Amino acid sequence: MKNSPESPQTLESQFETAADLIITGAIEPLKELLNTHPELVHTRSTREHRSTLLHYTAANGVEDVRQETPPNIVAIANLLLDAGAEVDAESEAYGGGCTTLGLAATSIHPQKAGVQLDLLQTLLDRGASLQKNSAGNAHSIVLGCLANGQPEAASFLADKGAPLDVVSAAGLNRLDDLQRLAQSATPSDLEQALRYAEGYGALDTARYLRDLH
C-alpha cells in the first residue's frame, strides 16, 4: 500500500508552529513562515485566551508551557509588527481586554530575561496605547504592574504618561499625585493604597495615608 501524500498544514497548525518559533527565538524560520502565510499575524489562537501571535511575545496570558522569553524577543515583536500585527489587539486572558503592552508589563518572564523595558518601549514606539485598562482583571496598566510584582515596569509606564489612581500613586511613592487623587478616593481605596504603599516600602505615601486616619 502506498503512503498517502502529506496533507497541507491547516492555519491552526501553522499558528501553533509560529507560536513555538516565537518562544524559542527562531526568528529566521518565523520570517519565512510569515512571508508564506502573512495572514498568520491576524490569526488568533483557538484556545480560550484567543491571543494573537504578538501576544505571545509578552509570555503572559497564554498557555503555561509557552510563557518563555528569548533574548531576541524585541526583534521578534518588530518582525510581527512589520508584518502587520495590530499593536493594541486584545486577548481574552484575565477577563479580557489585554493588550501585548499590558501583558508584557505585568509579566515576570521578560523582566527576568532583562528585556522587559526594551519590549515596552518598542510597543510604545509602535503606537501601543497607555490609556487602556490593558493588564487584565479591569486593572489600569500601572496598577496591574504593581499587583503582579513589577514595580520597575509600573514606574517606567507612569513616567511615559500612563494614568495613575490613588493605589498606584501610593505604591510608586508619588506623593504629589497621591495628594491630588486622595481627595476623591473612597475609604476602601485609601485602605488599599496604604497596603500597597507599605508593601512597596513607599515611606512618604504611607506616612501621608496614615495621617489621614
Sorted by where each begins, the domain ranges of the chain are: 11-163, 164-213
Query: Has residue 2 got a pLDDT over 60?
Result: no
State the pLDDT confidence band at 136, using cuts at 50, 70 and 90: confident
Mean of the per-residue pLDDT values for the chain?
A: 94
Q: What percent of the chain has pLDDT over 70?
A: 96
CB atoms under 10 Å from CB of 63, counted, come to 13
Superfamily of domain 11-163: Ankyrin repeat-containing domain (1.25.40.20)
Instruction: Report pLDDT for 164.
Output: 96
H helical segments located in 51-165: 53-56, 73-82, 100-105, 108-112, 116-125, 141-147, 151-159
pLDDT digits (tens, 9 = 90+) for 179-199: 999 999 999 999 999 999 999
Pull the grid cell for residue 112: 527576568
Enumerate residues 6+ apart whose C-beta is below 8 A from 154: 105, 142, 143, 145, 146, 168, 171, 172
Instruction: Report pLDDT for 30.
Output: 98
User: Contact 201/171 with Cβ under 8 angstroms?
Assistant: no
Pull the grid cell for residue 122: 518598542
Instruction: Report pLDDT for 5.
Output: 42
**Residue in this structure with the C-alpha cell 480560550, named with its chain if needed:** 48
Instruction: Report pLDDT for 138.
Output: 78
pLDDT digits (tens, 9 = 90+) for 24-83: 999 999 999 999 999 999 999 999 999 999 999 999 999 999 999 999 999 999 999 999
State the pLDDT confidence band at 3, using cuts at 50, 70 and 90: very low
